[in-house]
């Protein structure tokens, strides 16, 4: 089991400065030290290096973090001098012991935690939690689909529930979407599913919204007309990161769902027309939703990259664009780039097409995937979806918690002498 918050017992593994569990699957075999750097040599041949200042700030004793919250209380600037290593050794548990000057304080470090946080051998800090796999309709003709028929019969912390949720969230982070099948068709089921990921994000459409044709609609989604490929709410400073749509009824003629990987489209644009791609990644477009009772407006590029140059989000929704307010000489190049993109969105090979059946629930990344809908005959039957929004942060947090539970299981098995995969 994870160590208690007592760093002084040399017969027990020390605590870590977090609530996680870090299995000790290989131990340090030797340690070398210099005033500013400690080098660990692991039993499997790996060598790791840690700065003294980094170790001091990341200790897990009560002089560094609050034991109740695991939040840092140490202020490095109040130590009086740069923390340096006076002595370092390994104890019988494999923990690293370091005596720091000027404090003359000896602190212990958990070997599993050190191994997991070996920044001298780490991948880039902004590497995605799950590798992103782009797709087109030619390479992926249907969403990754999971049978969730009995999911709600299991409590969220059961192995069955956690396994399905991990598979679903992994698919969302890798391909941008997942389809859960055979769920109940009672209104409100969506909220029970969404809350297994994280809190819902309320908008002017409410926490849960019904997608079906209605009189006096305040969105094109609430009609029977076709919807072009788009993301939802690009009019917000931070557009919702995740959308869930749950089919309760669908007996209409037409109304087929369309999904496109906006990242695949943007990458194709970057390859075909680098100038158009650069224009859409720099010119700020106006996104506006000026309804009878609300007035949301935001200005942003249509394509956004992260610091490493990777695609981070797309804001594509022609019916929610306001007047372009770019510098005069940028207007025609901006529209030329826009029309190049628009033509690409009509290329059928980018699109995945499928029909919702009652009990289907699709979860997709609203800042990556474009969704659309064919027109349907409103008098041919009923089409009723319930929808809600969450944030990308909730997906990553929940998946990390699932990974943490697995690490805790492995750590417990190792500490009791069992096999990690038992």
Taking only the tens place, the pLDDT of each residue in 79-93 is 989 999 999 999 999
* pLDDT-derived band at 246, boundaries 50, 70, 90: very high
What is the reported pLDDT for 7? 61
Domain 1-122, CATH 1.20.1250.20 — does that match?
no
Question: What is the sign of the dihedral through the CA atoms of 353, 356, 362 and 367?
Answer: positive
Q: Which residue has the higher pLDDT, 221 or 315?
A: 315
The superfamily (CATH) of domain 145-400 is Clavaminate synthase-like (3.60.130.10)
Q: pLDDT at residue 234 above 70?
A: yes
Cβ pair 386, 210 in contact under 8 A: yes
Q: Where in the chain are the domains? A: 1-122, 145-400
Helices marked H in 159-235 — which ranges?
159-175, 189-194
The predicted model gives 133-162 an average pLDDT of 94
Q: Encoding tokens for residue 193?
A: 């599913």
At residue 3 the predicted structure's pLDDT band, cuts being 50, 70 and 90, is very low
pLDDT tens sequence across 90-144: 999 999 999 999 999 999 999 999 999 999 998 766 778 899 999 999 999 999 9
216 pLDDT more than 70: no
Q: Nearest 5°: phi and psi at 98?
A: -135, 130
**What phi and psi, each to the nearest 5 degrees, are found at residue 169?**
-70, -35
Q: How confident is the model at residue 10 (pLDDT cuts 50, 70, 90)?
A: confident
Work out the pLDDT band at 351, boundaries 50, 70, 90.
very high
Query: Which residues, including other chains, have CB under 8 Å from residue 23's CB and lie 6 or more apart?
Result: 112, 407, 410, 411, 414, 420
């Amino acid at each position: 089991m994870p160590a208690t918050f007592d760093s002084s017992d040399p017969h027990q593994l020390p605590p870590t400065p977090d609530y996680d569990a870090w299995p000790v699957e290989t131990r340090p075999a030797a340690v070398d030290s210099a005033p500013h750097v400690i080098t660990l040599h692991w039993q499997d041949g790996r060598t790791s290096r840690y700065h003294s200042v980094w170790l001091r700030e990341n200790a897990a004793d009560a002089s560094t973090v609050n034991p109740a919250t695991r939040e840092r209380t140490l202020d490095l600037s109040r130590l009086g001098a740069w923390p340096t290593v006076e002595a370092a050794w390994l104890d019988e548990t494999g923990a690293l012991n370091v005596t720091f000057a000027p404090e003359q304080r000896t602190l212990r470090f958990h070997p599993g935690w050190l191994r997991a946080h070996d920044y001298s051998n780490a991948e880039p800090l902004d590497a995605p939690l799950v590798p992103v796999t782009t797709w087109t309709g030619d390479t992926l003709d249907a969403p990754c689909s999971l049978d969730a028929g009995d999911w709600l019969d299991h409590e969220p912390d059961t192995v069955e529930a956690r396994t399905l949720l991990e598979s679903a969230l992994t698919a969302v982070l890798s391909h941008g979407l997942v389809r859960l099948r055979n769920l109940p068709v009672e209104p409100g089921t969506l909220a029970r599913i969404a809350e297994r990921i994280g809190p819902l994000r309320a908008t002017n459409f409410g926490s849960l919204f019904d997608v079906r044709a209605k009189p006096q609609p305040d969105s094109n989604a609430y009609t029977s007309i076709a919807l072009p490929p788009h993301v939802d709410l690009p009019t917000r400073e931070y557009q919702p990161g995740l959308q869930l749509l749950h089919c309760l009824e669908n007996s209409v003629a037409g109304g087929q769902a369309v999904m496109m990987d906006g990242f695949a489209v943007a990458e194709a644009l970057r390859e075909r027309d680098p100038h158009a791609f650069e224009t859409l990644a720099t010119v700020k477009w106006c996104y506006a939703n000026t309804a009878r009772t609300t007035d949301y407006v935001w200005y942003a590029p249509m394509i956004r990259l992260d610091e490493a140059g990777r695609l981070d989000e797309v804001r594509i929704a022609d019916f929610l664009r306001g007047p372009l307010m770019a510098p005069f000489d940028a207007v025609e190049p901006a529209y030329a780039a826009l029309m190049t993109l628009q033509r690409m969105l009509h290329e059928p090979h980018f699109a995945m097409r499928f029909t919702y059946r009652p009990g289907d629930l699709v979860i997709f990344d609203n800042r990556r995937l474009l969704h659309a809908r064919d027109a349907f005959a409103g008098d041919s039957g009923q089409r009723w979806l319930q929808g809600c929004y969450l944030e990308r942060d909730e997906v990553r947090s929940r998946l990390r918690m699932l990974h943490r539970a697995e690490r805790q299981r492995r750590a417990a098995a190792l500490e009791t002498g069992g096999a990690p995969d038992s």
